[in-house]
Amino acid sequence: MKCCAGCGKEFPYSGKKYCGDDCAASAASRQRNRARRSRVYESIRAPYDALDIIKRDGVNCCHCGIETQTTNQDEDSFRNLDHIIPLSKGGHDCDYNIQILCFRCNNLKGSQLFRVDFEKAESLWPCDVSGYIEKRRSRPNKNNKSGVAGVFYGKGVAKWISRIEVDKVRVEILSADKDSAILKRKIMKDMAKDGKTALQIKKEMLSYAAK
């Protein structure tokens, strides 16, 4: 199981970042909107997604405390990602300037800056913004192959993934570190060359990992 980067709900691990097409489309729309607004206000940006904020703060609205949800956009409890200090007031489009609000509280806040928001921003804002931004931008992501085809870091599971495809069937094995993932990918590749099926490779790799 892994957590969806869009809604934060757990779903069976499938190598994907989001639990479904609707969640992926909503996340892509939010990212485009954030990028557009950041350009307008010339804001500092760094990569983040909803899961980063959920892991830090949970899913309750930071203003009223209600549990937010992602199933009905017309409900007051619908989950919004809010810039604690609005971009129009110099806020950054970074995880330390993001909080979860319900639709109602986010709508009431608008572009205002309440004292509770200012205090939260002060507690989250890094001392070395430039260093923090550089670190966030250099984090491994799903496109990081580390120079080895079929080996990359899965942000959603926080592990390295060894991937191979045999007869259009994908096999993915998780590892705690890059070197182990590279070794497992090599073993899997050798198995495939020996004519083993995807199911056989997966069973043997799981058995190998359990030793």
Q: Are 70 and 24 in contact (CB under 8 A)?
A: no
**Cβ-proximal residues to 117 (8 Å cutoff; 6+ apart), any chain:** 84, 85, 99, 109
In whole angstroms, what is the distance from residue 72 CA to residue 79 CA? 9
SS3 74: coil
C-alpha pair distances (Å), 56 with each of 8, 29, 60, 141, 179 = 12, 23, 11, 19, 29
At 62 the pLDDT is 94
Q: Are 4 and 51 in contact (CB under 8 A)?
A: yes
Class of the CATH domain delimited by 2-137? alpha beta
pLDDT tens, the chain, 211 aa long: 677 877 878 887 666 778 888 888 888 888 888 888 888 888 999 888 888 899 899 999 999 999 999 888 889 999 999 999 999 999 999 999 999 999 999 999 998 988 899 899 889 999 999 988 888 776 655 445 567 888 888 776 778 889 999 998 999 999 888 889 999 999 999 999 999 999 999 999 988 765 5
By C-alpha distance, which of 68, 88, 84 is closest to 123?
A: 84
> Tokens 């928001």 correspond to what residue?
117
Q: Are 58 and 66 in contact (CB under 8 A)?
A: no
SS3 177: coil
Reading the block at residue 23, the tokens are: 């969640």
By C-alpha distance, which of 117, 49, 103 is closest to 74?
A: 103
At 51 the pLDDT is 86
Each domain of the chain, given as residue ranges in start order, spans 2-137, 151-210
Q: Are 170 and 179 in contact (CB under 8 A)?
A: no
By C-alpha distance, which of 1, 95, 106 is closest to 52?
A: 95
Beta strands in 142-197 (DSSP E): 151-154, 159-166, 169-175
At 194 the pLDDT is 93
At 21 the pLDDT is 82
In whole angstroms, what is the distance from residue 91 CA to residue 148 CA? 38
